Amino acid sequence: MYQPPSDVSDLISRYIQSPQDPFLQEQVAALAAAGPEQAAYVEGRLTAWLKDGAPVPVANVERMVPVVKEPPRRRWPLKWVALIIAGVLCAGGIIFYWWQPTSRMLQYVNHTNGIDTLQLAKSSRAITKRETTMAYAAKFDITPELQVLNGDAYFEIHQPERIRMLLDEHTVLYTANAVFGVHKTATSFQVLVVKGKVTLVPDKGKKVQLTANMQAKRELHHALQKKTVKSLSQLAWKTGLLKFHNIPLEEVLEAVNSYYSLEILVPPSADNLYKRRLTADFEHRSADEILEMLRKMLRVPIVKDSANRYYVSMK
């Protein structure tokens, strides 16, 4: 009777734990081809594993076992043994793949110097701004779930079943066929729909439906707000459009912030400025030039607070 050394027994046990490992597959196949007794041993271990559905414990072979002569057994041709082993290896890999949790999430970060594209499924993709961080289901076609953790993303979603996107701990977005953008920070989110329809479901309150040219936003500790916009200013980072004709100041600042990664804030005491409408061409201008143009148009100070943060002041 074949008595496997400890390294052979350990090899089979490691393969049972990770049947998808190509290196272990080659080692097990080579062991099976070494001889009829080795092939019979490998076949027996793998057959027991597939039958029981659980890892086979490592045998303790340190104790000497007396050799007992057995009557001659029928020997299988090596090519048939190799085919059987290959089939078992393939079956093991398939079983391992389908036993993985379908909701496992993968993390994505755009570390390029510009815009990047992430293909989520055959007909769905995400276009992201630099340094945007996302999480999405490893098997997106089976469990279409994703989340924008930080940054800006533009989604083209065309799925047979609706997707689920976590916007924050209180709000979930659902859609099956839509084109929309998401802006996410640590304390807020914004959703702008370009085509199709999306549904936002807060943990408290009524559902909110958005169609083309509609935007929803939520600040920390504030209620969800919805409005119709005059421009796609939230997507300036992608479109590069910085020309405005009679556009509300709030949307103009959204575009400048989006394109230049700035944070120009209007305090509550100056909210009436949001009613102002601007006509301006900021294309091919530097951030400093645009800030100076805004100071002259609004006739108010814009004070720098930190590296990329500015406040509009009424003083």
The ranges assigned to domains in the chain are: 6-99, 105-228, 233-312
| pLDDT for res 27 | 75
Residue with structure tokens 């100041």?
Answer: 249
Domain 233-312 falls in which CATH fold?
Phage tail protein beta-alpha-beta fold (3.55.50)
Q: How confident is the model at residue 60 (pLDDT cuts 50, 70, 90)?
A: very low
Query: Is 300 within 8 Å of 312 (Cβ atoms)?
Result: yes
Nearest C-alpha neighbor of 44 from the set 94, 81, 6: 81
- Ranges 8-12, 192-196, 247-251, 309-313: which has the least confidence: 8-12
Higher pLDDT, 236 or 14: 236
Residue with structure tokens 């930080």?
Answer: 150
| pLDDT for res 296 | 95
Mean pLDDT across 180-195:
97
Higher pLDDT, 287 or 76: 287
| pLDDT for res 133 | 97
Beta-carbon count within 10 A of 58 CB: 13
Mean pLDDT across 10-20:
75
Mean pLDDT across 198-217:
95
Mean pLDDT across 256-270:
92
Higher pLDDT, 4 or 299: 299
Cα 204 to Cα 131, 198, 239: the distances in Å are 32, 18, 34
Instruction: Answer yes or no: is pLDDT of 51 > 70.
Output: no
Q: What does pTM read for this prediction?
A: 0.67
Q: How confident is the model at residue 215 (pLDDT cuts 50, 70, 90)?
A: very high
| pLDDT for res 32 | 76
Instruction: Answer yes or no: is pLDDT of 49 > 50.
Output: yes
Tell which CATH architecture fits domain 105-228.
Answer: Sandwich (2.60)
